[in-house]
Chain A
Amino acid sequence: GQQLNQSPQSMFIQEGEDVSMNCTSSSIFNTWLWYKQDPGEGPVLLIALYKAGELTSNGRLTAQFGITRKDSFLNISASIPSDVGIYFCAGPRLISTGKLIFGQGTTLQVKP
């Protein structure tokens, strides 16, 4: 079945550093989603991408939908302690259904 391979698995960085994580698939996705899960909470949608090549920003976050439709990356600039959490990439199995496929997650820790 479709799988999303997310890397790195975890990151431990200093406050103020930039962060980059990516997600790849052997199958084409027509929508890429990036979620963040804070400790004790459920995932919250950060950015949604709908077109190949699309580059979208949300504050200090920037995400891109790869040209091949098989990958996406998320960048966080000037990290702060509240960026701590688990970041998931996701995409719908088929555009006609709501079933989402998720990556394994990237756990981010930020040292003040």
Chain B
Amino acid sequence: EAGVTQFPSHSVIEKGQTVTLRCDPISGHDNLYWYRRVMGKEIKFLLHFVKESKQDESGMPNNRFLAERTGGTYSTLKVQPAELEDSGVYFCASSQELGQGTDTQYFGPGTRLTVL
């Protein structure tokens, strides 16, 4: 069974440009999460989808970030326009169960975003 995949693995863009990150969860997983780790700090929650609906987007930094999950399968996270502080590693995770704290979340390898 394929794990969570993310594309691209690395992205280097200039401040003001737009970048779109993609996540393909494990097949059949209704819950999809986005997290971000800024260099040397903790991994921070961004948002949680249940199928195509946003269950919790309390971690989204500001309105320059837009996440979608059309059809309840893969998800995209768009940053527009990108700022220097958006640099970091963006992780996607998925889980099969109820979207609760006891679920096992499976993480993708992450997308390393560098904004110059």
Binding site for B on A (CB under 8 A): 4, 30-31, 35, 40-45, 48, 50, 88, 90-105
Contacts and interface: CB of A to CB of B under 8 A. Distances in A.
What is the size category of the interface that chain B forms with chain A?
Answer: 20 to 34
A91 to B, nearest CB: 7
A35 B44 CA distance: 14
A88 to B, nearest CB: 7
B33 interface: yes
B105 A98 contact: yes
Contact of B102 (A4, A95, A101, A105): A95
21 contacts: A30-B101, A31-B101, A31-B102, A40-B109, A41-B110, A42-B107, A42-B109, A42-B110, A43-B43, A48-B104, A88-B43, A92-B101, A94-B101, A98-B33, A98-B48, A98-B95, A99-B33, A99-B48, A102-B35, A102-B44, A104-B41
A98 B109 contact: no
B56 interface: yes
B58 A99 contact: yes
B59 A99 contact: yes
B103 interface: yes
Interface string B78-116: 000000000000010101000111111111111000000
